[in-house]
Chains A and B, each alone.
Chain A
Amino acid sequence: MSARIEAQGVSKRFGPVVALDAFSLEVAPGEIFGLIGPNGAGKTTFIRILTGYWLASEGDVRVDGVSVTRERFRVQARLGYACEQPKLYADHTVDAFLRFMGEVRGLGGARLRAAVGLSVERMGLEPVRRRRIGVLSKGFRQRVALAQALLHDPALLVVDEPTVGLDPAQQIELRRIIAGFRGTHTVLLCTHQLHEAEAICDRVALLDRGRLAALATADEIRVGGSLEALFLARVGREPAAGVVP
């Protein structure tokens, strides 16, 4: 099962600063949707509104027709979120942390054990299952973050910058895992890595200064040359330092 996302005129202001400006988009069920843009474009802001962490100043986001503003817990029950720079409890073991998140998600007993086992297997965490998160490499921590997001088999998976800081092999592996969700889960992938979005996303939205600058399908991107070309054309400036083309 997978979810549909509908964002209608979502704006977010912090005093005089406009982080998002009338941003609208639709993500179809089962789609892997990429959200790209330079630093400060509003990607993480949108994700925080989608996940219910922040409130939109205007507009609303709906997941399968349920408003995040009014019924955020129902929405949160249907989504799994792996943040940028994984926020994990360093003093917990991988197993303890996953069990904790599973219980928070309402799982218990045999269901919890099965869910944790499946997540561990999916993310290849078996070798580090009994180790404390604080001593794990960045790659494994990213996997733990994804594993906790998948515990309750959510309809919607929101992943923010999953491959930042990973070595190429780890990046390829993680992309393969995410691509494997196509059709069964809806994935909203937020990334700086243009080739990553190009490789695995069905559609990509380009955010710039809080606004939707471009929206393209994978085919349109291939026809247009590359996502980099699209980026440069729409954003109108060189990619910012740190953005890997």
Chain B
Amino acid sequence: MIRKSPELERRTQSVSALMALVLVLFLIQLWLITVALEDFLAARGGLAVPTFVASGVCFLLNLRLLKYLFDIDRSGK
């Protein structure tokens, strides 16, 4: 029988929380690209830049969270 490691359990919880945050940001990005597509098909184009910027911010936040994920990885080794 394997005994649970509290350290591993803590890291798993951290990764789960990170995954949830990244998922939320990604869903926001999906919504943004849908808005941009709708705008493009309607031959308006006024939302292309704002949605791109907002999506870029979400991506940068995701990169920051990814860095934190690597930090968690390193702390376990």
A binds B: no
